[in-house]
Amino acid sequence: MSPFWLLTLVPFLAGVTICAVQGTNYILAELVRSTGRSALGTVTSHIATREASYSTAHPVVRWTTDEGTEVEHPLIDNSGAPHRLPEGSQVRVLYTPGNPQHAQLDSPAARSNALFALALGTALWLGSLTAVLVRIGSSL
């Protein structure tokens, strides 16, 4: 196996992995968006978590469900802007009616970030596959 094949294997696998992860995230987000309910919530505080090699502050949001239950839960902000939500700010929350702890922030930036990452992953694996096919075609 020549080094060329190994060089194309890395972006191919990276692209497939990115597509799988971002595709799953996008489908789950759209499922909650289509079947869930929307509520207006207030950011009450932040909780710090350690992701990879850096710490991230996730907003803790309080909202009231349609049934009248008050819920306070940390939510992941996938908008791409760290510490963007100050305490006391109003946010739109999408939640599942039977399980309000399964909620997410309703953010158009999160949707566009997932679509961008999905397009990037597709470009990686498609570009690698094209390079391999061109190499095979030129060797025939």
Percent of the chain surpassing pLDDT 70: 87
Q: What pLDDT does 51 receive? A: 64
What's the length of the chain? 140
Give the range with max mean pLDDT: 11-25, 45-59, 82-96, 97-111.
Answer: 11-25
Residues 10-39: pLDDT tens digits?
Answer: 889 999 999 999 888 888 778 878 888 888
**pTM > 0.75:** no
Q: Where are the domains of the chain?
A: 3-139
Residue 75's pLDDT is what?
83
Q: What angle do CA 104, 109, 111 make, to 5 degrees?
A: 65
* Residue 74, beta-bridge partner list: 60
**Extended beta strands in the chain, E state:** 37-51, 54-64, 70-74, 90-96, 99-105
Strand order in the sheet with 70-74: 70-74, 54-64, 37-51, 90-96, 99-105
**pLDDT of 88 strictly over 70:** yes
The pLDDT-based confidence of 46 (bands split at 50, 70, 90) is confident
Amino acid 77: pLDDT:
67
More confident residue, 51 or 138: 138
